[in-house]
Amino acid sequence: MDLQALLDNRAEAAAIILFGIGLTTLLLHRNLLKKVIGFSFMDSAIFLFLASEGYISGRAAPIQSAASDLPASAFINPLPAGLVLTGIVVSVSVTALMLSLTVRLYERFHTLDLDRIVRLAREDAAVSVGAAAPVGKAERKAGTNADAGAAVSAGKAEQKSEKDAALPDPERRDR
């Protein structure tokens, strides 16, 4: 590939480089904010590529007045620009959703490391499942449903306080 071809297609080359940066950021980092940034890089690369492919040099913008005698072939295609604008709106919405979910995960687990979040979520699920089964068997023998619900709630609360005592605060914080 010669240098002139690369210079002629510099917008497409920049889009490919941006997409590669975003993809490697998304795949290689464990921090959720870095993953969101990588996803945004990929979005921007796609928009740059679509906009650069939709532009045809030597043609006018697709704004035609009544006094214009130019044929339709003298204008660029407005469809790629419309798709890019629609994609930007969707991208902003998805990014806002990802950031809000990241904030909720941070509030619950006090970390942005995806591996630690998964580990802590599995521990929470194991504690919840482990607390409900033994209490349910004991209450089935007693035969009262009202007492069973209260015992399950008390068992979960006791299990959660034991879990909080077992996990010191610094272990749950993002370093």
Q: How many CA atoms lie within 13 A of 48 on its CB side?
A: 17
How many of the other CB atoms lie within 10 Å of CB of 99?
13
Q: Which residue has the tokens 């950021």?
A: 25
Which residues contact residue 110 at a Cβ distance below 8 angstroms, ignoring those fewer than 6 apart? 172, 173, 174
Residues 137 and 83 occupy one common structural domain: no
> CA-to-CA distance for 30 and 153, rounded, in angstroms?
35
> How far from 147 is each of 127, 135, 141, CA to CA, in Å?
21, 10, 11
Q: How many domains does the chain have?
A: 2
* pLDDT tier for residue 99 given thresholds of 50, 70 and 90: very high
Percent of the chain with pLDDT strictly greater than 90? 48
Q: Can you state the percent helix, strand and coil of the chain, rounding each to 5?
A: 80, 0, 20
Q: What average pLDDT score do residues 16-42 get?
A: 97
Q: Is 85 or 77 the better-scoring residue by pLDDT?
A: 85
Whether residue 169 has pLDDT greater than 70: no
Residues 131 and 101 occupy one common structural domain: no
Single pTM value for the model: 0.67
Residues 132 and 55 occupy one common structural domain: no
Domain residue limits at 91: 8-59+76-109
- The model's pLDDT over 100-158, given as tens digits with 9 standing for 90+, comes to 999 999 999 999 999 999 999 999 999 988 765 554 444 445 444 444 454 445 555 55
69 in a domain, yes or no? Answer: no
In terms of residues, how long is the chain? 175
| N- to C-terminal Cα separation, the chain | 46
Residues 16 and 87 occupy one common structural domain: yes
Q: What average pLDDT score do residues 2-15 get?
A: 90
175 in a domain, yes or no? Answer: yes
How many of the other CB atoms lie within 10 Å of CB of 117?
20
How many of the other CB atoms lie within 10 Å of CB of 111?
21
> Over the chain, what is the mean pLDDT?
80
68 in a domain, yes or no? Answer: no
Q: Poorest-confidence range of 24-38, 73-87, 101-115?
A: 73-87
Whether residue 66 has pLDDT greater than 80: no
Q: What is the CATH number of the domain that holds 91?
A: 1.10.287.3510
